[in-house]
Amino acid sequence: MRSNRYHGQTPLTYSSDVKLRAGSVVQIELQKQLVMGVVSGPAPNPKFNTKPVTKIYDLPVIPKSLLNLAGWLIEYYPAPLGIVTQSMLPATLTDKNINQEIPENLPEADLSKLPKLTKQQKSALSDMVKQDSYILHGTTGSGKTRIYIELAQKTLAKNASSIILTPEISLTSQLADNFKAVFDNRVVIVHSNLSPGARSKIWLRCLKSKEPLIVIGPRSALFMPLENIGLIVLDESHEVAYKQEQAPQYQTGRVAAYLSRITRAHLVLGSATPSVADYHLATNKQKPIITLDKLAQVSLHEKNVSIVDRKDYSQFTKSNIIGNELIKAIENALNNGEQSLLYLNRRGSARIILCEQCGWQATCPHCDIPLTYHGDKHLLRCHSCSFNDHAPSNCKECGHHEIIYKSAGTKSVVAEAERLFPNAKIARFDTD
């Protein structure tokens, strides 16, 4: 049953006048509420009274692989049955959604617009048909997505579906665009930001489709009711976002490995920086680690990297935040009608607030971490618990009035850029 109220790990018994198959989607009453559920199988006649199934949805049965995955999740982690079922069923099912037309006669894949495979990519693909799971260790720009598309095409030719996972919702769109250029409306995008109605339609399409699909999304995409899965890809497999923190807690890589095993699907862990654990497991189990260390497309622009010593004050005569060399580079870009991106790993205006006299530092009274000064609001803020305080005019320890603000943040960089480049359009992008 799809309910966070049921914390048991065994199915509940209900009666039905109609013989139901395992995987049938039904509606039942649980604690005076009507909820969706999935039939796990027949039960012997109980010695107690049972409630009847209130509704049988006119739908194909849930794939056996998904039922097996639910059973494994409950035992392995463990997780409550009601919450596991929530991951596998939509929040709502309406007659209108159930009766929606499912696209048929989907177009064939069109690889003509893609760049030709490099020798290294061809070699990687030939190696990736020999075993069932791989680590694809590809540096940024080596063409891992191109490999995923080729694997999805080969899977499609076998009349099987593919699941392509991304660690974050924000990464789904770009990856989906690459796949849509080849597979068109065979690509299905699913994530938690979709409305319940939209997720319901996508879930129903996966369940009812007679043609193989390519499902792209974060962790939740792994639980789409696909009948025949031939490929599972974890893009950026090293990302911590693949760990589900809320119930049911699970590690996506491990769940994907189990699902690939019971469906006999190929499993690919793609990353520029594979985790030590994945490397260790691959080595011990003699699974191939396929390397892509060459750029798929050579850049036409010459790359020039300069390292400037912050202690060399002669390099900061025009600004104490932005160096002379960087100022000149930005000016050249502006004159050429180009954009400039400045990255800084600190928010606010100043990260450190110190008393010059006694060394007192402004810290959060709750978290004991340094407060950040936000000059636009003249406030000190804790970026951990959101505690706010007025910026001090005097030291809170010795009363001295010389307060030092050090370690510039993004707001300081914006203010300095506005001073240096008054005619430029400047925008700041951070969590503030």
pLDDT in tens, 153-192: 999 999 999 999 999 988 898 899 999 999 998 999 999 8
Answer whether residue 380 shows pLDDT above 70.
yes
Answer whether residue 258 shows pLDDT above 90.
yes
pLDDT of residue 129: 73
- 327 pLDDT band, cuts 50/70/90, is very high
Answer whether residue 95 shows pLDDT above 80.
no
Average pLDDT over residues 104-112: 80
- 128 pLDDT band, cuts 50/70/90, is confident
The CATH 3.40.50.300 portion of the chain extends over 119-292
> Residues of the chain with pLDDT > 70: what percent?
97
Task: Please state which CATH class domain 119-292 belongs to.
Answer: alpha beta
Three-class HEC string of the chain: CCCCCCCCCCCCCCECCCCCCCCCEEEEEECCEEEEEECCCCCCCCCCCCCECCEECCCCCCCHHHHHHHHHHHHHCCCCHHHHHHHHCCCCCCHHHHCCCCCCCCCCCCCCCCCCCCHHHHHHHHHCCCCCEEEEEECCCCCHHHHHHHHHHHHHHCCCEEEEECCCHHHHHHHHHHHHHHHHHHEEECCCCCCHHHHHHHHHHHHHCCCCCEEEECHHHHHCCCCCEEEEEEECCCCHHHEECCCCCEEHHHHHHHHHHHHCCEEEEEECCCCHHHHHHHHHCCCCEEEECCCCCCCCCCCCCCCCCCCCHHHCCCCCCCCHHHHHHHHHHHHCCCCCCCCCCCCCCEEEEEECCCCCECECCCCCCECEEECCCCEEECCCCCCEEECCCCCCCCCCCCEEEEEECHHHHHHHHHHHCCCCCCCCCCCC
Tens digit of pLDDT for each residue in 276-306? 888 888 888 777 788 888 887 655 455 688 8
Answer whether residue 1 shows pLDDT above 70.
no
Tens digit of pLDDT for each residue in 40-87? 988 888 888 999 999 999 999 999 999 999 999 999 988 888 889 888
Asked whether the whole model's pTM tops 0.75, one would answer no
Average pLDDT over residues 105-111: 80
130 or 54, which is more confident: 54
Tens digit of pLDDT for each residue in 193-246? 888 889 999 999 999 999 999 999 999 999 999 999 999 999 999 999 999 888
pLDDT of residue 431: 81
- 4 pLDDT band, cuts 50/70/90, is low
